[in-house]
Amino acid sequence: MGSTIALVRWILRIVNILIAIAAVVALGAFYKFFWMAMPQTTGTITSAVARPVAVERDSLGVPHIRAASQEDALFVQGYVTAEDRMWQMDALRRFSAGDLAEVIGPAALESDKETRRLRTRRIAELWYAELPPADKAELAAYARGVNAFIDSHRGNYSFEFTVLGYDPRPWSVVDSLLIGLYMYRNLTTTWEEKLRKATMLSTGDPAKVNYLFPYRMGPEFQPGGDVQPGSNAWAVAPGHTASGKPLLSNDMHLEFAEPGVWFMTHITAPGLNVSGVALPGVPGIIVGHNDRIAWGCTNLHFDVQDLYLEKMDIRTGQYVFNGHIEQARAERELIRIKGKPPVEVVNWVTRHGPVWRDENGRVITLKWAAASPKNFGLPMVEINRARNWQEFTKAISRFPGPGQNFVYADIDGNIGYHATGQLPIRTTYWGDVPVDGSTGQNEWEGYIPFDELPSAFNPKNGYIVTANQNPFPPDYKYRVSGYFASPYRSRQIWNRLQALGNKVTPQDNLNIQRDVYSGFSKFLGRQLTAAYDARHATNKDFTDAVAMLRNWDGQMDGERPEGLIVTLAFQYLRKAVAERASPGNGDAYLLQLSPAVLERLLKERPAGWFASYDETLLRAFADAMDEGRRMQGTDVKKWKYGKYVFLTVVNPVASQIPYVGKYFNIGPVLQSGGSTSVKQTTRKLGPSERFDAVVGDWDQSLLNIPIGQSGHLFSFHYKDQWEAYYNGTSFPMQFNKVDAKARVVFEPVK
């Protein structure tokens, strides 16, 4: 008996020892792979700064950098951004250069091939050659800071590097430009719409297809946004605010990601005191304020890409231009693939640009404004230093793209607006489909001069509102080509501001950013009920839906069914309209302007489309009800629009961890809002930040990003902003007074 007890005790002791060893190993692994990768927030860091630089982090993990020189400030910005976002920075530069397959494997090969065809690294190198010395110096200081982090953390980067089994290579100035090109590409890609239209024209009625693609209309109809990235920005003059100070708000709508696209940062150095959101990998602040001015921006949506049908021998690279044979340039690209031999691709580049598609004997090249920079600059730090409207506009005049609407306000009570970017001058065609590239008749004739772009300064009405709508007047001297947003968002912002009279507050602006009213959806709901009444329909399956839509206020409330009914009906109606224009191609009509196009069609009801518009509406209504029942059951009163437009934000690496990976994701969660509401939401995109500035009373300004500052899985700041963002609240921007929760000092090397 005693020997049995002794054996049991021995076994228990061994088990306890093994558990202890496992715990120690687990703690050691956690320490090495997670804790050691966290930012150093206290003590000192010896690095290549000329004089000490203090970095205070507030309760959200926002770094407040205080340096004795701009060079040291940008060096430390590069370092501290890399501390929290090195994996994101590396992933973005790899995506933008076409180098993802090197660390991910064959799954990324097609993405890399397309990027290499776009020639982004070569373009970034061309950009760098065009930069003035001051811009190069800013990029170099930032790159040195990133590399100081990389060099000092060998083997102790974030979890993603450990899992994928590689270390980041040194950061270069061209890498920062690649990050800028990532945004340029994301916000100016129009070639897909051109190919969709060409497909529909190939078998459709040209008049009807062109009706569906009205990329340039007058101010009474500005075609609209369905799934494209969009943004809102507005400024309110002092006479309309409760404080008597100008107000400025901005929420840029981009695809959700984990971590998010922006990194909140505050930088102070001689001549520089600026706070807002930075783009990881790029020096300076993209949107925010300094001690005198505030600014925000929205995407202009001017078309800066064209497709050319080339008469070309793809084997030799010879093609015809203006009656002469020309030779395309062959650019060889080697794509490295994890676990596989590298793949070599050869890209032919013509005077128009690279061969973009080679299908069934049709050779199509792509011309992109980003590939031919003129007077190129990277003016973000110059914008950050601007003291007034003159200095601000001088800085943004060097902004090459993507084309933006910049909104401005300053402590002297001024508000302003200016469009920016390299916008091509087209004189002989509109450029909305692939055109014959052999004639020499379809060339760009330079770019619209900055001083001739739309602008405003202290408008008499005291408001400036931009929500991607068309800012070009009908009599504009240059041809305008673009996929501008419909006026639904801008009109609602304007109406909300007008209703507030002369008492607008920062909280009011935040409330407007959360607005989920859709003028288009309300219109379509009225059209559905009117069609039901006009046809004397008695379908009992429609009774509850019709009753709800009849009194619906257009609020795209995630907890309510009306938004779902109208959204599904819109999808079926859009396809039906596209089928009438181009039989068999209904699914190709995915253009962002479709809501406004359909509103125009239903208001005008031109002949030749449908025998009965009401019958068409009722069919779309019936199909929507059937699909809704399949998704959410037979009781329409229990449907929730938010279940249809739900959001899941996935960490691309951590989510693959068995059992626990899902805890590093966001959602799925119900959403409110839609593609035509001020709070523009889809399953993929939404507000990427909410910025509400009180000009001159900076500590009352508000700023919120969707998820959190840090990309580290176990950081307190990994997703500490999510609840506030999801519930529509925000955080004060600490500027003059910083409540520091941690402080680290960068010391010079002795």
Helix axes 613-632, 519-534, angle to 10 degrees: 110
Lowest mean pLDDT: which of 119-123, 214-218, 246-250, 688-692? 214-218
Q: Judge whether 312 and 319 are in contact, CB under 8 Å.
A: yes
Please compute the mean of the pLDDT values over residues 481-491 and round it to a whole number: 88
Structure tokens, 696: 């001159």
Three-class DSSP category at 199: helix
Say yes or no to pLDDT of 14 above 90: no
CB 271 within 8 A of CB 385: yes
Phi, psi torsion values for 488, nearest 5 degrees: -60, -50
pLDDT of 218: 38
Task: Give the per-residue pLDDT at 487.
Answer: 85
CA distance 688 to 299: 13
Q: Per-residue confidence at 733, pLDDT binned at 50, 70, 90?
A: very high
Burial (CB < 10 A; 0-12, 13-18, 19+), residue 473, is exposed
CB 230 within 8 A of CB 242: no
According to the model, what pLDDT value does residue 718 have?
A: 95
Sheet holding 742-748, edge to edge: 43-47, 742-748, 53-57, 63-66, 263-269, 272-278, 287-289, 293-299, 404-410, 415-419, 455-457
The pair of three-digit structure tokens given for residue 423, joined into one six-digit string? 């916008």
Adjacent-strand bridge partners of 320:
325
The C-alpha atoms of residue 34 and residue 28 are separated, in whole angstroms, by 10
The pLDDT value recorded for residue 35 is 54
SS3 143: helix
Q: How far is CA 500 from CA 77, 273, 508, 574, in A?
A: 39, 32, 8, 36
Confidence tier at 339 by pLDDT (50, 70, 90):
very high
Question: CA dihedral in degrees (346, 350, 353, 357; nearest 10)?
Answer: -60
Q: What is the mean pLDDT of residues 671-686?
A: 94
Q: Which residues of 321-335 are buried (b: 16+ CB within 10 A; e: fewer)?
A: beeeeeebeeeebeb
Q: What value does the mean pLDDT of the chain take?
A: 91
Examine the pLDDT at 23 and tell me if it is beyond 70: no
| Contacts with 334 (C-beta within 8 Å, 6 or more apart), sequence order | 342, 343, 344
DSSP 134: H
The pLDDT confidence band at residue 569, using thresholds 50, 70 and 90, is: very high
Q: Which of 645, 625, 642 is nearest to 634 (CA)?
A: 625
Reported as a pLDDT band with limits 50, 70 and 90, residue 37 is confident
- Two structure tokens written together for 398: 């060097």
pLDDT tens, residue by residue, 542-568: 889 999 999 999 999 999 999 999 999
Instruction: Choose between 431 and 617: higher pLDDT.
Output: 617
Q: What does the DSSP assignment read for 47-101? A: ES-SS-EEEEE-TT--EEEE-SSHHHHHHHHHHHHHHHHHHHHHHHHHHHHT-TH
Residue 16 reports pLDDT greater than 80: no
Residue-level pLDDT at 9 = 55
CA-CA distance, 282 to 738, in Å (whole number)?
24
- For the cut 70, the answer to whether the pLDDT of residue 728 exceeds it is yes
3-state secondary structure of 208: helix
Does position 453 have pLDDT exceeding 90, yes or no? yes
What predicted TM-score, i.e. pTM, was given to this entire model?
0.92
The CA distance from 482 to 404, in Å, is 13
Yes or no: say if 263 and 280 are a contact pair by the CB < 8 Å rule.
Answer: yes
Q: Is the pLDDT of residue 259 over 60?
A: yes
pLDDT by residue (tens digit) across 75-109? 999 999 999 999 999 999 999 999 999 999 999 99
Q: Tokens at residue 211, please?
A: 């009706």
Two tokens at 536? 């004397």
pLDDT, tens only, 300-334: 999 999 999 999 999 999 999 999 999 999 999 99
Confidence of residue 361 (pLDDT cuts 50, 70, 90): confident
How many Å is the maximal CA-CA distance in the chain?
A: 105
Class of domain 519-554+559-639: mainly alpha
| 517 CB-near residues (< 8 Å, 6+ apart) | 492, 553, 554, 555, 556, 677, 678
pLDDT of 4 reads 64
Q: Which residues does residue 747 pair with via DSSP β-bridges, in sequence order? A: 46
The phi, psi pair for 555, rounded to 5°, reads -80, 120
252: Cα within 13 Å, side-chain hemisphere: 29
Q: What is the pLDDT of residues 412-451, one digit of tens each?
A: 999 999 999 999 999 877 678 899 999 988 899 999 999 9
Q: Domain locations in the chain?
A: 519-554+559-639
pLDDT at 33: 53
CA distance 265 to 381: 13
Measure CA 729 to chain center: 21
Sign of the torsion angle spanned by Cα atoms 568, 574, 576, 582: negative
The amino acid at residue 475 is D
Where are the strands (E) in 328-433, listed by range? 329-337, 340-349, 355-359, 362-368, 404-410, 415-419
Give percent above pLDDT 90 in the chain.
Answer: 81
Please, what sign has the CA dihedral across residues 43, 47, 50, 55? Answer: negative
Q: What is the pLDDT of residues 602-616, one digit of tens each?
A: 999 999 999 999 999
**pLDDT band at residue 239, thresholds of 50, 70 and 90?**
very high
Contact between 145 and 78 (Cβ < 8 Å): yes
As a whole number of angstroms, the distance between CA 675 and CA 555 comes to 12
pLDDT at 31: 46
DSSP 593-641: THHHHHHHHHHH--TTS-S-HHHHHHHHHHHHHHHHHHHH-S-GGG--H
Q: Region 41-59: what's the mean pLDDT?
A: 97
Nearest by Cα to 57 from 745, 743, 746: 743
The larger pLDDT score, comparing residue 534 to residue 109, is at 109
Residue 634 has pLDDT above 90, yes or no: yes
Backbone angles phi, psi at 476, to 5 degrees: -60, 140
Indicate if the pLDDT at residue 207 is higher than 80: yes
Given a cut of 50, is residue 157 above it in pLDDT?
A: yes
CB neighbours of residue 89 within 10 Å: 25
